[in-house]
Chains A and B, each alone.
Chain A
């Protein structure tokens, strides 16, 4: 019983698979050389090095700041779109169509356009992140608005709740799970997209430093930063969004 639980806690089967992967990695890096595939040990050393020098915080911080700006703005605008969709049927149809177009637009379109518009500056990755995450967050929010239980709203009418009371007591709590889900997906996307946009023009951030490492032939650092990115992703998911959704849906 307890042994079984510990196996689960430690993800023992996953660890076993990881061990096999690392072993394979070792063999391949020995076969093809450090330039193509650096050894696990070199990557680990690189990781220790950037943590010690503090470089890891500088670049991660720069990336996260851009994400906070772009993604934060996307959430705010998405909330506005959700509100519009709630207030008017016509607005809802327009929002739907706009989001369909935005959803169909490639990341690369926004990267190229933002470089043209904003030059090689901070605004390029921020704008790209904004444009890519907006439709994701807004779509789930609009879906949430549409799924508000009409029967509960009718209950609100029976008891003559004002528009504001209905909004606060019925609409907002109905939408919160959708908002959290949308933000979770949106944040993951933001991290991936903003790092990509950082290849161009800026001199900080995980994307920049990965591309730079490639240029100076420090392949092991590309792997190091990839690991940093994965860790950031998993931590925010666990710490931020899991806590948030647990807190907000205590009543379930």
Chain B
């Protein structure tokens, strides 16, 4: 089941403040793209939402449960990292089966689920392959299949196509969009590519230069023309990049 995500006043300091204060709400089933200049803390914010890093201030709530607090929350979060992070000594199927173990599924069910999501990710016929034997794009698909196999309430993706060439990138964007439609998961997707965000996201959030706040939040529901939206966002990101450089020097 997809759940809503609430980020309230989240900030993070690493010696200097990286994220000043960020608040936004995501409805269940939304596909949110997180944009911003390099080094503005997009990945850090994603890691905080995923519970991999504690925020310096603020709260994150997932389907009503706090991500940081006493004890673990019961929501399932799948993460697709910039790198595939598959275990090289396991086949693609074994990789997807592994993450279902903590959920208590028995072996035949794990296998069925793994095969189903590998097929959904376009990897039917490659279940027995080791990661080193398939292309980078296929490894990233397997990582997506793995994240989906736990049937996550929230799916986090951190520039998952950063290492792919333009052609594969385009293909994967369509695939992710299709998978999102078919599974109805809530997705938080970090990218620095504005065209990518406009092509796949339903909600676009742009962060400002460091220490970051939300520069703008737009609904990508077709009311604003795509070309115009891309233009506007490009102008904004250039302003933020300049500000960041000015602050850095």
Contact = CB atoms under 8 A, between A and B. Distances in A.
Chain A interface SS verdict (over half): helix
A91 to B, nearest CB: 26
Interface residues of A, number: 16
A251 B81 contact: no
A165 B81 CA distance: 21
A251 B88 contact: yes
B90 A252 contact: no
A158 B52 contact: yes
Interface in A63-118: none
A155 B102 contact: no
Given A159-B99, A161-B98, A161-B99, A154 B52 contact: yes
B89 A165 contact: no
Contacts of B50: 158
A28 B102 CA distance: 72
Interface centre among B72, B81, B99 (most CB of A within 10 A): B99
Contacts of B78: 158-159
A151 B83 contact: yes
A146 to B, nearest CB: 18
B52 A169 contact: no
Contact of B102 (A159, A170, A173, A252): A159
Interface string A38-56: 0000000000000000000
B77 interface: yes
The main secondary structure of chain B at its interface with chain A is loop
A252 B87 contact: no
A160 interface: yes
Contact of B132 (A152, A154, A173, A252): A252
Interface string B77-116: 1110101010111100000001101100000000000000
Contacts of A155: 79, 81, 85
B101 A251 contact: no
Given A151-B85, A152-B85, A160 B102 contact: yes
B87 A173 contact: yes
Interface in A221-252: 251-252
A73 B98 CA distance: 33
Given A154-B52, A161-B99, A169 B87 contact: yes
Given A155-B81, A165-B101, A251 B89 contact: yes
A38 to B, nearest CB: 51
Nearest to B83: A151
B209 interface: no
A251 B102 contact: no
Contacts of B81: 151, 155
A14 interface: no
B48 interface: no
Nearest to A161: B102
A162 interface: yes
A251 B98 contact: no
Contacts of B99: 159, 161
A152 B102 contact: no
B150 interface: yes
Contacts of B126: none
Contact of A165 (B52, B102, B130): B102
Contacts of A158: 50, 52, 77-79
A252 B132 CA distance: 7
B164 to A, nearest CB: 19
Nearest to A154: B52
Interface string A152-192: 10110111111001000110010000000000000000000
B156 to A, nearest CB: 9
A173 B52 contact: no
A158 to B, nearest CB: 5
A166 to B, nearest CB: 10
Given A151-B85, A158-B52, A169 B98 contact: yes
26 contacts: A151-B81, A154-B52, A155-B79, A155-B81, A155-B85, A158-B50, A158-B52, A158-B77, A158-B78, A159-B78, A159-B98, A159-B99, A159-B102, A161-B98, A161-B99, A161-B101, A161-B102, A165-B101, A169-B87, A169-B98, A170-B87, A173-B87, A251-B88, A251-B130, A252-B88, A252-B132
Given A151-B83, A162-B102, 20 more contacts: A152-B85, A154-B85, A155-B79, A155-B81, A155-B85, A159-B146, A159-B150, A160-B72, A160-B102, A161-B98, A161-B99, A161-B102, A165-B98, A165-B101, A169-B87, A170-B87, A251-B89, A251-B130, A251-B132, A252-B88
Closest CB pairs A-B (n = 8): A159-B99, A173-B89, A251-B130, A155-B85, A160-B102, A251-B89, A158-B79, A169-B98
